[in-house]
Amino acid sequence: MAQESAKWPQEDVLILAIETSCDETAAAVVKNGREVLSNIIYSQIDLHTLYGGVVPEIASRKHIEKINQVIEKALTDAKVTLEQITAVAVTYGPGLVGALLVGVSAAKAIAFALDKPLVGVHHIEGHICANYIENKELEPPFLCLVVSGGHSHLVMVLDYGRYEILGRTRDDAAGEAFDKVARAIGLGYPGGPKIDSVSGQGDPEAIAFPRAKVGDNVYDFSFSGLKSAVLNYLNGCRMKGIPVSQADVAASFQKAVVDVLTEHSMHALEERGVRKFAIAGGVASNGHLRRALEEACRKRNVAFYRPSPILCTDNAAMIGAAGYYEYCKGVRHGWDLNAVPGLKLGERI
């Protein structure tokens, strides 16, 4: 069980951060929450591409094989010894249980052997905190759109570690929709970056895909209807013998996703009167989404923040940033820390 009590440190805090929630084996050393001394990511994408998506068992085995090397490299690149580390932070949920367990076990072993504090971090909180790394002036409160392979959340960041979820997806996450549509049009895995690049040659107005409205909560998202509309369009073309333009489908689908994400985000900014807006998660590296949101914020005179693409997709530097604020608030986990695949944002176990 997490122990929490407020205490802000005077001296430098060096966090060794570990992230293994999905298919990236990652470790980083982060100083005082915002200065990245090293950020090592071993991506398993090539391995999973063979199967058209992440295979959980293979991901866990690869994490076991790579975790020690990745941690050692993070320490070497940061020119920091284990003894100099203040605390060890690790993603303990949400994610794939077997994959999470590898990072959690490694973090527990290091923290226990060195008698250093152990801080469990929520993966989505990590994505949000990636924004602090390159924007030293950014502080809560602000609105954040978190769009990844497993999550689509519109979140008010009230304070460090304090969140109010305004909207979430009712079905598929935005990244999941990108991956499924990419597979359907023959682009393969991972779909997001491929749709992002192919759509450059397509016409976003070529096909009128639906923009779903979700009844009772204006901030909620739904992407499964859009995915079905793409599949129906492809089937229709096949049955009528009409050739399909991969680029037009990609561009029109992407425009539908970007329109919905932009509309909901701007609605929330206006209703809440918030002047700062950030994006996070793998889909936040989408060039079209970044440009649309930047332009929408510029028109409203709202400050726009987005992490570099390398800090949008899964990495451990973001876990080091989030871990720092948790550490400063006094969050400490015991040796009974476990992987929690369905961990909710703002929940501490």
One residue of 148, 252, 254, 286 binding Zn ion per CB under 5 A: 148
Nearer to Zn ion, 94 or 204 (CB): 94
What does residue 56 show for φ and ψ, rounded to 5 degrees?
A: -50, -45
Nearer to Zn ion, 257 or 280 (CB): 280
One residue of 264, 286, 305, 333 binding ligand KG4 per CB under 6 A: 286
- Which among 29, 129, 136, 126 is positioned nearest to 86, based on CA atoms? 29
Alpha-carbon span 256 to 204, nearest angstrom: 9
94 binds ligand KG4 (CB under 6 A): no
Nearer to Zn ion, 172 or 314 (CB): 314
Paired sense of beta strands 87-93 and 152-159, if any: unpaired
One residue of 282, 307, 320, 323 binding ligand KG4 per CB under 6 A: 282
103 binds ligand KG4 (CB under 6 A): no
Query: In Å, how far are 63, 254, 277, 281 from 274, measured between CA atoms?
Result: 40, 27, 8, 21
Is 313 in contact with 285 (CB distance < 8 Å)?
yes
Least separation, in Å, of the C-beta of 214 and Zn ion?
Answer: 23
315 binds, among ligand KG4, Zn ion, none (CB under 5 to 8 A by kind): none
131 binds ligand KG4 (CB under 6 A): no
DSSP line for 13-67: -EEEEEE-SSSEEEEEEEETTTEEEEEEEEE-HHHHHTTTS--HHHHHHHHHHHH
One residue of 38, 313, 331, 337 binding ligand KG4 per CB under 6 A: 313
End-to-end CA distance of the chain: 5
190 binds ligand KG4 (CB under 6 A): yes
314 binds Zn ion (CB under 5 A): yes
Residues from 14 through 43 that contact ligand KG4 (CB under 6 A): 22
- Pseudo-torsion of CA 173, 124, 140, 116, nearest 10°? 180
Q: How far is CA 117 from the centre of its chain?
A: 25
Q: State the number of binding residues for Zn ion (CB under 5 A).
A: 2
Which residues bind to ligand KG4, rule: CB under 6 A? 22, 148-150, 175, 178-179, 190-193, 196, 281-283, 285-286, 313-314
Which residues bind to Zn ion, rule: CB under 5 A? 148, 314
